[in-house]
Amino acid sequence: MNAHLQAIPQIASPVDSRALRTALGQFATGITVVTTRAAEGALVGLTVNSFSALSLEPPLILWSLRGSSPSLPVFESAERFVVNVLAEAQVEVSRRFALQVADKFDGVAHAENAWGQPLLHGAAAWFECRTVSRQAAGDHCLFIAEVERFTLSEAAPLLFHSGGYFALGSRL
C-alpha cells in the first residue's frame, strides 16, 4: 500500500454529491451578489460564491449560474452585469439574495451604474463586467466576462466556508 494514500483520511466516490459538497466546502471563498437589469426593466440578482479572478490582461473574471435558475435567461440576454463583493456586515444581504423571493431588492440600498444595473451599498468592491463567453458546464452555465470598471471600499470582506459565514481572522 502506498504510504501517501494511507495518510488520506477519507476518499469519497466522486459521484457522492453530498460528500463532494462537503469537501468543496473546505475551499473558503468570498461572497458576491451578481446583479443586472432584465430587458423589461426588472432588477435581478443572486448570491454567488463561484466568482473567481481569471486574467489580468485582459481583465477577466468568471462565475457560474445553476442551469435551472429563473435568472439564467436574464443573464443570457444581458450584455453586462455587476459583481458586488459583499462586506462582513452584509450577511443578511447574502441570505436575502440566495432566496427565491419576488423582489430581492426591496429594502436593499443600492445605486445604479450607467446601464441601470444595481451597485449594492456597503459592498467591499464592485466589478462592472461585460460577458465575453457563456457555456453550459454540467448543471451550470459558466460566464466569463471582461471587467470594464471597478471600485473598492475599505470594508472587510465577508467569507464563506463549510456552509457558514465568517469574518477575516488574523493575518498569517
Which one among 31, 87, 145, 159 touches ligand FMN, defined by CB under 6 A?
31
Q: Contact between 70 and ligand FMN (CB under 6 A)?
A: yes
Q: Contact between 36 and ligand FMN (CB under 6 A)?
A: no
Q: Contact between 69 and ligand FMN (CB under 6 A)?
A: yes
Q: Contact between 67 and ligand FMN (CB under 6 A)?
A: no
Q: Which region holds residue 69: left if phi is over 0, alpha if psi is between -120 and 50, else beta? A: beta
Q: Contact between 65 and ligand FMN (CB under 6 A)?
A: yes
Q: Contact between 22 and ligand FMN (CB under 6 A)?
A: no
CB contact set of 172 (below 8 Å; sequence gap of 6+): none
CB contact set of 46 (below 8 Å; sequence gap of 6+): 33, 34, 65, 69, 71, 97, 98, 104
Q: Contact between 64 and ligand FMN (CB under 6 A)?
A: yes
Answer for the pair 94, 165: CB distance below 8 angstroms, yes or no: yes
Residue 92 in grid coordinates: 443578511
Interface with ligand FMN (CB under 6 A), residue total 17
Residue of 28, 23, 50, 25 lying closest to 168 (CA atoms): 28
Which one among 71, 84, 90, 117 touches ligand FMN, defined by CB under 6 A?
71
Q: Which residues of this chain interact with ligand FMN, rule CB under 6 A? A: 31, 46-50, 63-66, 69-71, 98-100, 160
